[in-house]
C-alpha cells in the first residue's frame, strides 16, 4: 500500500452510534504491505503442523457456529446470549468449522480463530495484524469516502459474500454460499485485495473504543492503549441490511481477544 493521507470514517452516516464510525478524520500512513486475501485454511494448517499450536477453540473444546450450518445437532451445548442464531458446538474449530463431522476447505478463509490465535500465527509468519487505520485504507484502495470498495451501491450481480433472504431463518444462498466463500472469490479492489468486506470479519491489532475517532492522532493511529475487546472489520456472510449492515469500508465492531466464531478470520500486514 502506498503512503498516503485519507479520510477515515463513515461519510454516509450509515453506522449506528455505539460503533463509533464518526467523526470523519484525516489519517496519514506510511507505506505498508497487507495480504491480498485473508489467511486460508491451508495457510493456518501449515502453521499448526510446524508448531503444534492449538487454538483457543480447541483448548476450550467448543466454538460458536451459525445455527443453519451446524453439522451435528447432538454436539450443540447451548445458545449464545442475545444472539440465538449462534450455537455453542462441541468440537467446532478451525479444522471443523461446522462441528466435529465437518472438514474445513483449504482455499476458504480460516475461521474459529481468536485474536490471540491470529497473533500467534503472525509471530510464526514474521507478520503482524494490520492496524484499524491500515485496514480501512487498504479496503478503500484510494476511493475516498465510498461506502464499499467498489463504490456507493451494491451492484445487481454479487460483489461480496453477504446474506440473502430472511435473516436469520432463510438464506437463499443466491451467491452460491451459505457460509464462507473461497478467499479469492469476487473481483478484487483497486489495490488487489479480495473480499475486504463480506465473507469473514477480520481481526485488527487495535483495542476497540467507540470514542477513539474523536481522539485519534493524524499520524499512524494505533488505537487506545487499553481495552477489553479488539477491533474486527469488514462484516461477514451473515451481514444483511435487516440485521447488520457492516459490510462497508467504514464499519467496525469488536470482540474479546479469546473469542472465536465461524465468521471471523484475519489477514496479516508488515512494514
Q: What is the DSSP string of 50-94?
A: HH----HHHHHTEEEEEGGG-S-GGGEEEEETTEEEEEEEET-BT
CA distances from 237 to 49, 163, 225, 247 (A): 28, 6, 31, 9
Structural domain contains residue 194: yes
Q: What pLDDT shows up at residue 80?
A: 86
Cell output for 124: 510464526
Q: What pLDDT shows up at residue 157?
A: 80
Q: What pLDDT shows up at residue 242?
A: 78
Nearest-angstrom CA–CA distance, 93 and 55:
8
CATH number at residue 231: 3.90.1580.10
Those residues whose C-beta lies under 8 Å from the C-beta of residue 255, and which sit 6 or more positions away, are 115, 201, 229, 230, 232, 261, 264
Structural domain contains residue 68: no
Q: What pLDDT shows up at residue 124?
A: 98
Q: What pLDDT shows up at residue 241?
A: 80
Structural domain contains residue 14: yes
Q: What pLDDT shows up at residue 51?
A: 98
Nearest-angstrom CA–CA distance, 149 and 182:
18
Those residues whose C-beta lies under 8 Å from the C-beta of residue 16, and which sit 6 or more positions away, are none
DSSP per-residue string spanning 156-197: SS--S----EETTTEE--TTS-SS---TT-S---TTS-S-SS
Please measure the distance between the N-terminal and C-terminal CA atoms of the chain and give it in whole angstroms: 10
Structural domain contains residue 56: no
Structural domain contains residue 65: no
Residue in 21, 1, 10, 4 with CA at minimum distance from that of residue 214: 21
- Work out how many domains the chain is built from and give that number: 1
Query: Could you tell me the residue range of the domain that residue 187 belongs to?
Result: 7-39+111-270
**Which residues of the chain are modeled with pLDDT < 50?**
none
Q: What pLDDT shows up at residue 15?
A: 93
Structural domain contains residue 156: yes
Structural domain contains residue 30: yes
- Is residue 80 within 8 Å of residue 87, measured between CB atoms? yes
**Residue 14, phi then psi, degrees to nearest 5:** -85, -25
Q: What pLDDT shows up at residue 2?
A: 96
- Is residue 94 within 8 Å of residue 118, measured between CB atoms? no
Structural domain contains residue 79: no
Amino acid at each position: 500500500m502506498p503512503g498516503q493521507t485519507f479520510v477515515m470514517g463513515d461519510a454516509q452516516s450509515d453506522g449506528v452510534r455505539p460503533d463509533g464510525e464518526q467523526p470523519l478524520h484525516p489519517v496519514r500512513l506510511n507505506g505498508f504491505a497487507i495480504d491480498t486475501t485473508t489467511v486460508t485454511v491451508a495457510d493456518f494448517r501449515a502453521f499448526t503442523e510446524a508448531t503444534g499450536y492449538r487454538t483457543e477453540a480447541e483448548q476450550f473444546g467448543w466454538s460458536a457456529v451459525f445455527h443453519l450450518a451446524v453439522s451435528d445437532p447432538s454436539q450443540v451445548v447451548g445458545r449464545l446470549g442475545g444472539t440465538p442464531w449462534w450455537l455453542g458446538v462441541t468440537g467446532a474449530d478451525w479444522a471443523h468449522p461446522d462441528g466435529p463431522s465437518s472438514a474445513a476447505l483449504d482455499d476458504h478463509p480460516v475461521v474459529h480463530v481468536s485474536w490471540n490465535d491470529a497473533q500467534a500465527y503472525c509471530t510464526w509468519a514474521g507478520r503482524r495484524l494490520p492496524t484499524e487505520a491500515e485496514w480501512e485504507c487498504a479496503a478503500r484502495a484510494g476511493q475516498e469516502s465510498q461506502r464499499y470498495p467498489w463504490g456507493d451501491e451494491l451492484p445487481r450481480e454479487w460483489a461480496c459474500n453477504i446474506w440473502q433472504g430472511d435473516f436469520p431463518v432463510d438464506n437463499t444462498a443466491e451467491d452460491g454460499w451459505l457460509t464462507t466463500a473461497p478467499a479469492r472469490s469476487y473481483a478484487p479492489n483497486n489495490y488487489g485485495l479480495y473480499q475486504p468486506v463480506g465473507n469473514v470479519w477480520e481481526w485488527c491489532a487495535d483495542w476497540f473504543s467507540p470514542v477513539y475517532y474523536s481522539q485519534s492522532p493524524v499520524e499512524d493511529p494505533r488505537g487506545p492503549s487499553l481495552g477489553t475487546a479488539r477491533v474486527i472489520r469488514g462484516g461477514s456472510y451473515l451481514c444483511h441490511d435487516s440485521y447488520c449492515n457492516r459490510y462497508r469500508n467504514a464499519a467496525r465492531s469488536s470482540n474479546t481477544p479469546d473469542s472465536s466464531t465461524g465468521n471471523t478470520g484475519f489477514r496479516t500486514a508488515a512494514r
